[in-house]
Amino acid sequence: MVPLDTPPAPDKHPAPSLAEFQDKILVPLAAKKANEVIQRARADAQQVYAKRERERMEQGVAADNFIDLLSLIAAVPPNYWLNAGGQYLRHRGAVSRQSVSELEEAQLKEFVAWLETRRVSLKAKILALYAGRMKETRESDRTIFSVCVDGKDRRYSSALGEFIRLDDSPGVCPPTKVTLADESPSKGD
């Protein structure tokens, strides 16, 4: 028999804390969302760069054809100066296209590097958003944590010190919209 004045045995698995939920669930979710936002921005920038490169190549072919036409016209001896001018224009056009291409490639690299510098602050911003959407409730004998992520009310319970994802709540949550707009490189970074 246990004496009446003996304290109850400590719970082997105490109820999880909000801080523990944040560390084990919200921090990885925020890091994943930040990676998605950065990957999307990088892909968008690379698409714009590739489109400009293609357009420049298409314009270059047309410009080269025009310059070739000028060179053919210039082959007539009385128009010697035009031949020399055509050669100059052909050289100048190739140098200009190459310079613009190198400049845009450097700008793309700079933008991608800038994106990487925003990863930590973006993760913190998303974590704060998720933490503000977090709720803790009790169901029966367990603690349930929920958080709105990407329009879904995700629910988690703790068992044996680990969090287990439960079925999402049928409730409606606002979508997670995070952009880099307020951290654009034009704001002095």
Confidence of residue 77 (pLDDT cuts 50, 70, 90): very low
Domain membership of residue 131 (yes or no) is: yes
Q: Is residue 6 part of a domain?
A: no
pTM: predicted TM-score of the whole model, two decimal places: 0.68
In a domain, 4, yes or no: no
pLDDT value for 89: 47
Quickly list DSSP for 70-100.
HHHHHTSGGGHHHHHHHHHHHHHHHHHHHHH
Sequence-ordered list of residues with C-beta below 8 angstroms from that of 46, at least 6 positions apart, any chain: 108
Q: How confident is the model at residue 31 (pLDDT cuts 50, 70, 90)?
A: very high
**Entry field: residues in the chain:** 189
Provide the 10 A C-beta neighbour count for residue 4.
5
The tens digit of pLDDT for each residue in 111-132 reads 889 889 999 999 999 999 999 9
More confident residue, 87 or 176: 176
With respect to residue 136, please indicate whether it lies within any of the assigned structural domains. yes
**DSSP-derived 3-state class of residue 62:** helix
- What counts of helices (H) and strands (E) characterise the chain? 4, 4
Domains identified in the chain, total number? 1
User: Domain range spanning residue 56?
Assistant: 18-181
Q: Which of 175, 132, 139 is nearest to 155 (CA)?
A: 139
Average pLDDT over residues 84-103: 58
Give me the residue label for tokens 């439960």: 166
**Is residue 153 assigned to a domain?**
yes
Residue 5 lies in a domain: no
